[in-house]
Amino acid sequence: MRKLLSACLIMAILFTAIIQVPTSVLASTGNGDEGINEKFGLPIVVYGESLSEEQKQEVRNLLDIDDPSTVNEIIVTAEDLVKFIDGDPNSNMYSSAKITRKEEGNGLVINIVNQENITQVTNEMYANALLTAGIENAVVEVASPLKVSGHSALTGIYKAYNVDGESLDKDRMEVANEELSVATQLAEQSGVDQEKVSELLTEIKQAIADQNPASKEEIEQIVKDQLATLNIDLNDEDIARLVALFDKMRSININFDNVKSQLDDIAGDIRSKLEEVANDEGFWQGVKDFFQNIIDGLKSLFG
């Protein structure tokens, strides 16, 4: 009996220690210590029009905005959704974003500051879509005070760039939005892991940059090659959707060769995440095996 009590006590202590291991999360960088870049002006914060005043303040807190005068605050509306991507004028807009422009060569950094509330879109999905839209060299922070898919943040980012004196190409914005929709659909409906979806889109773009396909048939071959390389199994409908998406990119002459280094960065981030997941699975399998051994030992006490 004494051995049994000792074993149970050990199990309890070990279990408590394991579940209290902290989990690292991607937090807001704030960028408040860098001062104002006078070349690009104030960072722009875009709030979804459906947010209440209390929710807007919550977003400010999430984005580390202590003084609203240090940013340029604007509202993204359903009308903007129609204007930039021919979206639904009845849409509710909740996702918000802070955009800080950077010098050439800094690349595109995406940070979802409260990932638990952005349920369908990942950092890499945003990065891929924004590169497609023509956005480079910026820190983009996305936040929401309630659970949302995250799609409307893309329109807010487009509006920020138009307010900031630039005019993004509408065709590229539309196809970037379509890319985000395809990515989330593959993850939600086709059972493909979010990181694997982002890896697939990134690898297809890299292959397009390397091979410069001249026809839809060549695009289709690239898509099928990357699916095979990554061991992703999709039905014919999903493959056709991917082929149509990337053929549309080809038809509007998006040159991914210009952003190849940033695509490499995205690919590297995805690989790191996939490796972390694999390592975590191994860790928890080890925990499971460890406790199974203890249980087996306890059973032997009664044998």
With a CB cutoff of 8 Å and minimum separation 6, the contacts of 254 are: 132, 172, 175
Is-contact 243 236, C-beta < 8 A?
Answer: no
Tokens, residue 8: 């149970």
Tokens, residue 293: 């051994």
Judgement on whether residues 202 and 105 belong to the same structural domain of the protein = no
By CB atoms closer than 10 A (0-12, 13-18, 19+), residue 131 is: buried
Q: List the domain range (segments joined by +) for residue 198.
A: 191-303
DSSP-based three-state secondary structure for 101: strand
Ranges of beta strands (E only) in the chain are 44-48, 72-76, 96-101, 108-112, 138-143
How many other CB atoms are there within 10 angstroms of residue 21's CB atom? 7
Judgement on whether residues 270 and 289 belong to the same structural domain of the protein = yes
Judgement on whether residues 230 and 148 belong to the same structural domain of the protein = no
Task: Out of 189, 220, 237, pick the residue that ends a domain.
Answer: 189
**Number of C-alpha atoms within 13 angstroms, CB side, residue 194?**
16
Judgement on whether residues 156 and 52 belong to the same structural domain of the protein = yes
Beta strands 44-48; 96-101: pairing state: antiparallel
Could you report the average pLDDT of every consecutive run of 10 residues in the chain (303 residues)? 47 41 34 64 94 96 94 94 88 94 91 94 92 92 94 91 80 93 92 91 93 95 96 95 95 80 73 64 55 53 46
Judgement on whether residues 133 and 177 belong to the same structural domain of the protein = yes
How many other CB atoms are there within 10 angstroms of residue 289's CB atom? 9
Is-contact 78 87, C-beta < 8 A?
Answer: yes
Is-contact 53 82, C-beta < 8 A?
Answer: no
13 lies in some domain: no
Judgement on whether residues 153 and 199 belong to the same structural domain of the protein = no
Query: For residue 270, what pLDDT is reported?
Result: 73
Query: For residue 162, what pLDDT is reported?
Result: 86
Query: For residue 294, what pLDDT is reported?
Result: 53
Query: For residue 110, what pLDDT is reported?
Result: 94
Task: Out of 132, 165, 189, pick the residue that ends a domain.
Answer: 189
24 lies in some domain: no
Judgement on whether residues 155 and 280 belong to the same structural domain of the protein = no
Domain count, the chain: 2
Task: Out of 173, 189, 205, pick the residue that ends a domain.
Answer: 189
Judgement on whether residues 86 and 138 belong to the same structural domain of the protein = yes
